[in-house]
Amino acid sequence: MVRPPRRLVVALVCSVVVLLGNVREASAHAGLEASTPSANSVLETGPTEVVLDFDESIETALTSITLFDGAGQPIPLETPTQGADSTVARASVSSAAIPLGDGVYAAVWRVTSADGHVVEGAFSFQVGAAAAGSGQALIDQIRDGIRADPAVRWWYGVARFLSLIGAITMIGGGWWLVRGPADIMLRRRSRWAAVVAWLALVIGSAAAFVLFAAQAVAGSLSDALSSGRWGDVAATQTGRMILLRIGLAIGLGALLTLSHHRAQGWWRDVAFTVGLLTLLTFPASGHPNAQSPSWLWIGIDFAHLVAIAVWIGGLLALCLASTATMERPDGERLARRFSLAASLCVPVIVATGVLQTLRLAGGLDDVTATDWGRLLLVKVTVVVALLAIAGVSRWLLHHDGAASIRRTVIAEFIIGVVVVGIAAGMVALPPVPQATAAPFETQLTNAGIIAVVSLSPGAVGGNDVHIIVTPPGGAITPVAGVTARVALPAQAIPFSPVTLVQEGPNHFSGSVTFPRSGDWTLEVLVQVTAADSVLLKTTVPIP
């Protein structure tokens, strides 16, 4: 019986522990499903708290809820706390601000979702039917401050790239260097490459941690240096994984100083395990962490990243080797081992990449509808070019020897770094189009009855309803009455009536509250005469 290598067993056990400790039910970027008060609702009395219900778990410690009055002045709220579960956040109105008087108000919120992405939004509501003012105008006035400074977002992307490319080159390249000819490790540029990769990993990870804190509070670069939020960030899944990565990187640095022991079994066991765990922190704090089941998708992305590290790291090792080394038999063996490994890694990279794309984007129909999808197409194009050059390298290796592939290997490595940069940029983008509310209007016909139905704003919360009916006898022929009701069958929400009043001949208006998103069924019953009625039905999509 063949026993698996000890270092592989240790690494797998540690990886399973991290994955199981991270199991959670999640979907994608957190979306607001319902709120109290509801968006666009009209209240008789002012609310005593603001409650937000999202479609996935959020990090309550990094949740921000701000309430503004009609003049754009903030109203004091208590620190947000978790509601009934980890998908709900609530903030009570300060006792000094209660009761809220008649007027228009806007709630601006910012949360960090399970995959570490910051999501923000705003909605308005009204207290008192006679209050004047535009909720949308108020939102436009005050929501400029709910997004982080562009410089924070740009440097956060740079930090993610540095940490990712540092991990791939140090761990993947190191794996190949300790198995290659000894003189490659002894070369000065090899030692410098290891130090630069380690610095990129440590500095990039540390910068990502502090910049994540600044992004979470929609701050500026100066906020990244404020330690006030670091504790809150450390309590999140993303923060914990970045801190773990920094700790593991420090461990890799210690192993780097002990590289003269690299031939010993304990050194390789520890380096192999720490390296794999370092790579695992990336999918455990990104998009896969927001998929369900998270352990499966983290595992798939982990395999994707390990295969990339083996491929890109091998290219780096070959770039660091001298021409004289590649002309020797041991250099030739290194190149051929890499060629074999690459031929195994590429199918893994492609298969896991396709699986993640289909899962994250929900298919390829709307892949160009988001910046994530457009970057994906750029990445695929660059990868195709990379594979073409890899094919040339493989042909040269088998026909002209290892010394002939130096230029194509350098080109492969440079393009591989570009691919990693694109991947780092994709991490911060939502893979599916963000649903936006829009007024709904449709024309329904049945048995000679024509009804034009419109709802505004077509969002979760309160909506204005207008129904204009044209009976068979023409627009001037009055109908006896109109009633309406709505239901959400997919979530077992039964029919509830829509309040309607007659505005004029065959014109009825009213209001309806949609407590959550989904495809709502709207039924309109037109009472043509006392004895004759016609039922009209439609679906109202509420994002």
Strand-pair partners of 542: 518
Mean pLDDT across 282-292: 74
Q: What is the DSSP string of 312-356?
A: HHHHHHHHHS-HHHHHSHHHHHHHHHHHHHHHHHHHHHHHHHHHH
Of all residues in the chain, what percent carry a pLDDT higher than 70?
82
- Distance between CA atoms of residues 208 and 70, nearest Å: 37
Give how far the C-alpha of residue 317 lies from the chain's centroid of Cα atoms, to the nearest Å.
33
Strand order in the sheet with 461-470: 440-446, 449-456, 461-470, 507-514, 493-504, 481-488, 518-529, 532-542
pTM, rounded to two decimals: 0.66
Alpha helices in 217-328 (DSSP H): 221-224, 230-234, 237-257, 265-280, 294-320, 323-327
Region of poorest pLDDT, from 39-48, 105-114, 139-148, 534-543: 139-148
Handedness of CA 473, 475, 481, 484 (dihedral sign): positive
- Comparing 4 with 235, the larger pLDDT belongs to 235
Are 513 and 462 spatial neighbours (Cβ–Cβ below 8 Å)? Answer: yes
- Confidence band of 265 (pLDDT split at 50, 70, 90): confident
Q: Check pLDDT > 80 for residue 504.
A: no
Bridge partner residues of 124 (DSSP): 106
- Is the pLDDT confidence value at 237 over 90? no
Starting from the edge strand earliest in sequence, which strands make up the sheet with 49-54, in order? Answer: 32-36, 49-54, 88-92, 81-82
Write out pLDDT tens, residues 179-232.
Answer: 777 767 667 788 888 899 999 999 999 998 888 877 766 667 777 777 767 777
Contacts of 180 (CB under 8 A, 6+ apart): 317, 321, 330, 331, 334
The span from the CA of 521 to the CA of 538, in Å, is 6
76-85, 414-423, 483-492: segment of lowest average pLDDT:
76-85
Give Cα 295 distance to the centre of its chain: 16
**Predicted confidence band of residue 246 (pLDDT cuts 50, 70, 90):** very high
Which amino acid is located at 291 in the chain?
A: Q
pLDDT at 9 over 50: no
Mean pLDDT of 459-466: 78
Averaged over 137-147, what is the pLDDT? 62
Residue 16 has pLDDT above 50, yes or no: no
Percent of the chain with pLDDT over 90: 15
Say how many C-beta atoms besides its own lie within 10 A of residue 45's C-beta: 11
pLDDT per residue as tens digits for the range 403-447: 888 899 999 999 989 988 888 877 767 666 655 556 788 888 888
pLDDT tens readout for residues 345-397: 989 988 988 888 777 766 666 666 677 778 888 888 998 999 899 899 889 98
Please, is 17 exposed, middle or buried when counting C-beta atoms within 10 Å of its C-beta (0-12, 13-18, 19+)? exposed
The amino acid that residue 421 corresponds to is G
Position 456 confidence tier, pLDDT thresholds 50, 70, 90: confident
3-state secondary structure of 185: helix
The CA R_g of the chain, rounded to the nearest whole Å, is 30
DSSP letter, residue 482:
E
pLDDT of residue 162: 93
**Can you tell me which residue has the tokens 């991490």?**
427
Q: Which residue do the tokens 């982080």 mark? A: 148
pLDDT value at position 106? 84
- Confidence (pLDDT) at 81: 85
Is residue 36 scored above 60 in pLDDT?
Answer: yes
Comparing 536 with 125, the larger pLDDT belongs to 536
Tokens of 9: 């067993």
Say if residues 69 and 75 touch (Cβ distance below 8 Å).
yes
Mean pLDDT, all residues of the chain:
80
The per-residue pLDDT for 435 is: 53
Quick: pLDDT tens for 306-320: 999 999 998 998 888
Q: Answer yes or no: is pLDDT of 158 > 70.
A: yes
Q: What is the pLDDT of residue 189?
A: 81
